[in-house]
Structure 1
Amino acid sequence: MEDFGDFSDLDMIGNGAYGVVYRARDTSGRYVALKKIRISLTSDGIPMTTLREISLLKNLDSYNHPHIVKLLDVIHRRADRENQLELYLVFEYLERDLADYISHLPTTSLIPSHQIQRLSKELLSGIDFLHSHRIIHRDLKPSNLLLSSQGQLKIADFGLAKTYDFEMRLTSVVVTLWYRAPEVLLSQSYNSKVDVWSAGCIIAEMYAKRALFPGTSEGNQLGKIFELTGRPRTADWPDCSLDLDQFLMTMPSEPRQLVPQLCDYSNDLLKKMLDFMPRNRPSAHECLQHMYFFTEPM
């Protein structure tokens, strides 16, 4: 069993590009989530993704937002190997994530509409809070949305999050492929609307119990998106390095043609959130004002 000092090592619950996550118990007996990261001291120092995550979460924690995961502590110590540092980010522990919840629903069961409405509101509230502090998450997906035992949703994993001052043109390696906005796929400048796109994909997935755009490559992903949005005219993307003519010309359709479970209001909300043109998408704050959140779900 690995030595975690003041923590009792229980079991590994995640293993990603930026560290291994364990469920552990602290000295008070409370469960916590430990994100363990090994850092080579002979490199350029602590990876920017780690520094960014720590800085953002420390700044956000003072607000105690109900839909943002809490960073409880940061611990560092020398690793067994020479010139290495072990860094532990200690988070509040939440029992499961949204991807796990959806995947374990019985085959014939759907998430109740009122529950999707509540979870969607909590997700957008968290995103609105981040955007009001000029933070783009850039990797929203069901596995990064944690659920407490009471069913409360919290946004987690800020390894790719970034503060912004202007539209960014960065590598497309942000946002997991299925939830990646078309402007990122097309290597265009982007802003906070990429999170709104991802949230739209997630809300649709809660209704359908499957990914809305399960692409296998960037080109395939765009093709699936065009089935909903219609293929744009090349003139709409004059700086696009991709030849859009390689895709069949398609006309826009309604989200409920892909997700029949949608009601009129949820269909209208997702149509706006999944607009191909980012300038036409509502902000997270504007999404929260939509009639979908002020009507009894059908």
Structure 2
Amino acid sequence: MSPINRLNTFWPDWNVEEKVGSGSFGEVYRVSRKIGDKTFFSAVKIISIPQNQAEVDAMRAEINDEKSTRQYFQEIVNDCISEISLMMDLRGASNIVNVEDYKVYEYPNEIRWDIYIRMEYLTCLTALMSQRSFSEPEVCKLGSDLCNALGYCEKHHIIHRDIKPGNIFISDDGDYKLGDFGVARKASQTLNTMSTKGTYDYMAPEMFSPNYYDATVDTYALGIVLYKLLNRNRGPFLDANAEHIHPGEKDRALAARLSGRELPPPANASQSMYAVIKKACSFKAENRYSSPAMMKSDLEDILSGKTVDQLLADTYQVPLNQNAPIQPDTFRMPPTQSAQFQPDAFRMPPNQNAPFRTDTYLLSQDQSSPFPGDAYPPPEGQGNYQPVQNPYRNYNAEQKKPSRVPMIPFVIIGCIAMIVVGFFAGSKFDKIIEDGPKSAGVDSIISETATEYSTSVPAANGGTSASP
């Protein structure tokens, strides 16, 4: 019996309409159920493990033990069930495909299982990409909705690891949803034990290495999806105007992306949109958006009409009395460090590494960046901001060191003053000497001084000296 013919044994109220596609390890069917005058549709995905008898024979030859062969495939089934349960835990999230129910059928006397997953019926993004192009506002809407889904995954410590058009769906209401958590794992289990799962065209560079990676691999993959939608369905480093793409060109484009080369602008993207995609797809994880919410905020700003200069200014300027997370790439903090700062003071905690000193540079109210323009010049086209000198410290921007207060003028003035005073004092003294005995005042002064001195000094033999 064909697996799809067994559907009525699990859900007798549902009827198979048609086969709508194939996915990893299975096929997808549209099913319907009628209640009163209304007809409801759902999608049923059937996953067969193993996919065929050849897989069983290959594993049996390798293990050479029937019990161990069955146990091997049983563990795969258990992993799939765990991931389906994971999706059911996410039910209610507005931008995640809703899983309604699932069943598992084990074939008697065979090493074979069929897993039936019933979920809401949606249209796959790949079907739309083959029919029409997407405008930038539509791409922003898709990115914003997917950021909602990734934010929900973040709260549950989940990394999807396989974001691509085939796992993105759109509802009749125009909402985009993330589905197919077939390779999703808890964040604590991602020490690259299965790092090669996913799709190469959308995978972050660190997923190809045996190192730890975090949830930014999902925002990276989302950035590549947005890039392709705005580049006529061509990935980075591929000619969007070429009529045909050869396999060798795709391999070279993949190698260029994984080597860390800066992504060229998509053919149909504005400068603001290109800035968002470039940040999401930064080669180093610490330079990407630290959370899906921050990427969503920039996408919504583009929808509201903000320019790239305004987006970059918002990176450093936050409304007063509002706490904002410090970006690791902005202030060169460790990727796992999260700090808050008050934008009106721009004060950094003493144990954090910041490229500016608040006791050296002060910001005026109309400035949008804490960086001094002479030390950290802004990129071209990103605004002009200059350092404001601290009134309590004389900062010399040219010499890059505190300048000393000039002392030479004060020394010269002091010397001149001393010369003038000495000149007038000498003139008076010379006049007294020239007058000599003619000046009775001088004679009396000398006589009185001698008398006082002789009467006040004791004699050498213990008596007092007589006055002359």
Normalising by the smaller structure, the TM-score range is 0.7 to 0.9
Q: Which amino acid aligns with 1:16?
A: G
Q: Which residue of 2 aligns with 1:245?
A: none
Q: Residues 189 and 220 (structure 1 numbering): CA distance in 2 closer, same or farther, change over 3 Å?
A: farther
Q: CA RMSD in A?
A: 2.7
Map Cα deviations across residues 87-127 of structure 1 (whole Å, 9 max, x no partner).
21110111x2112111111xxxx412221111110011111
Q: Which residue of 2 aligns with 1:35?
A: 45
Q: Which amino acid aligns with 1:181?
A: A
Q: Residues 186 and 271 (structure 1 numbering): CA distance in 2 closer, same or farther, change over 3 Å?
A: same
Q: Which residue of 1 aligns with 2:120?
A: 92
Would the aligned equivalents of 1:170 and 1:189 in 2 still touch at CA under 8 Å? no
Q: Tell whether 2:224 aligns with 1:196.
A: no
Q: Which residue of 2 aligns with 1:236?
A: none
Would the aligned equivalents of 1:166 and 1:191 in 2 still touch at CA under 8 Å? no
Q: Residues 194 and 221 (structure 1 numbering): CA distance in 2 closer, same or farther, change over 3 Å?
A: farther
- Distance in 2, matches of 1:285 and 1:204, equals 19
Would the aligned equivalents of 2:201 and 2:254 in 1 still touch at CA under 8 Å? no
Q: Which 5+ residue runs of structure 2 have no aligned equivalent?
A: 51-68, 239-245, 308-468
Q: Residues 46 and 36 (structure 1 numbering): CA distance in 2 closer, same or farther, change over 3 Å?
A: farther
Task: Decide which of 16, 33, 38 is 1:9's aligned counterpart.
Answer: 16
Q: Residues 82 and 192 (structure 1 numbering): CA distance in 2 closer, same or farther, change over 3 Å?
A: same
Map Cα deviations across residues 212-246 of structure 1 (whole Å, 9 max, x no partner).
2479599645423168x42xxxxxxxxxxxxxxxx
Q: Which residue of 1 aligns with 2:274?
A: 267
Partner secondary structure for residue 268 of structure 2: coil
- Distance in 2, matches of 1:173 and 1:145, equals 20
Q: Tell whether 2:129 aligns with 1:102.
A: yes
Would the aligned equivalents of 1:71 and 1:91 in 2 still touch at CA under 8 Å? yes
Give, in angstroms, the shift of residue 83 of structure 1: 5.4
Map Cα deviations across residues 108-166 of structure 1 (whole Å, 9 max, x no partner).
xx412221111110011111111221000010000100111222111010110011127
Give, in angstroms, the shift of residue 274 of structure 1: 0.8
Q: Which 5+ residue runs of structure 1 have no aligned equivalent?
A: 231-251
- Distance in 2, matches of 1:182 and 1:16, equals 24
Q: Which amino acid aligns with 2:222?
A: A
Q: Which residue of 1 aligns with 2:294?
A: 286
Partner secondary structure for residue 66 of structure 1: coil
Match runs of 1:101-140 below 5 Å: 101-105=128-132, 110-140=133-163
- Distance in 1, matches of 2:102 and 2:272, equals 43
Match runs of 1:38-53 below 5 Å: 38-39=48-49, 42-44=70-72, 45=74, 47=76, 48-53=78-83
Would the aligned equivalents of 2:192 and 2:210 in 1 still touch at CA under 8 Å? yes
Task: Decide which of 143, 153, 157 is 2:166's aligned counterpart.
Answer: 143
Partner secondary structure for residue 52 of structure 1: helix
TM-score (norm 2): 0.52
- Distance in 2, matches of 1:170 and 1:46, equals 15
Partner secondary structure for residue 104 of structure 2: strand
Q: State which structure, 1 or 2, has the greater radius of gyration over its C-alpha atoms.
A: 2
Q: Which amino acid aligns with 1:116?
A: V
Partner secondary structure for residue 89 of structure 2: helix
Q: Which moved more, 1:178-187 or 1:166-175?
A: 166-175
Q: Which moved more, 1:43-52 or 1:160-169?
A: 43-52
Q: Which amino acid aligns with 2:212?
A: S
Q: Which moved more, 1:155-164 or 1:30-39?
A: 30-39
Task: Decide which of 25, 28, 32 is 2:32's aligned counterpart.
Answer: 25
Give, in angstroms, the shift of residue 175 of structure 1: 1.8
Match runs of 1:201-212 below 5 Å: 201-212=224-235
- Distance in 2, matches of 1:18 and 1:166, equals 22
TM-score (norm 1): 0.79
Give, in angstroms, the shift of residue 78 of structure 1: 4.7
Give, in angstroms, the shift of residue 77 of structure 1: 3.6
- Distance in 2, matches of 1:285 and 1:155, equals 16
Partner secondary structure for residue 88 of structure 1: strand
Q: Residues 219 and 117 (structure 1 numbering): CA distance in 2 closer, same or farther, change over 3 Å?
A: closer
Would the aligned equivalents of 2:205 and 2:258 in 1 still touch at CA under 8 Å? no
Q: Which residue of 1 aligns with 2:86?
A: 56
Q: Residues 221 and 79 (structure 1 numbering): CA distance in 2 closer, same or farther, change over 3 Å?
A: farther
Relative contact order (C-alpha < 8 Å, sep 6+): which is higher? 1
Would the aligned equivalents of 1:67 and 1:122 in 2 still touch at CA under 8 Å? yes
- Distance in 1, matches of 2:210 and 2:182, equals 21
Give, in angstroms, the shift of residue 81 of structure 1: 6.9
Q: Which amino acid aligns with 1:261?
A: N
Q: Which amino acid aligns with 1:73?
A: D
- Distance in 2, matches of 1:164 and 1:21, equals 28
Partner secondary structure for residue 134 of structure 2: coil
Give, in angstroms, the shift of residue 68 of structure 1: 0.2
Partner secondary structure for residue 165 of structure 1: helix
Q: Tell whether 2:231 aligns with 1:223.
A: no
Q: Residues 117 and 186 (structure 1 numbering): CA distance in 2 closer, same or farther, change over 3 Å?
A: same
Would the aligned equivalents of 1:68 and 1:156 in 2 still touch at CA under 8 Å? yes
* Equivalent pairs, count: 265
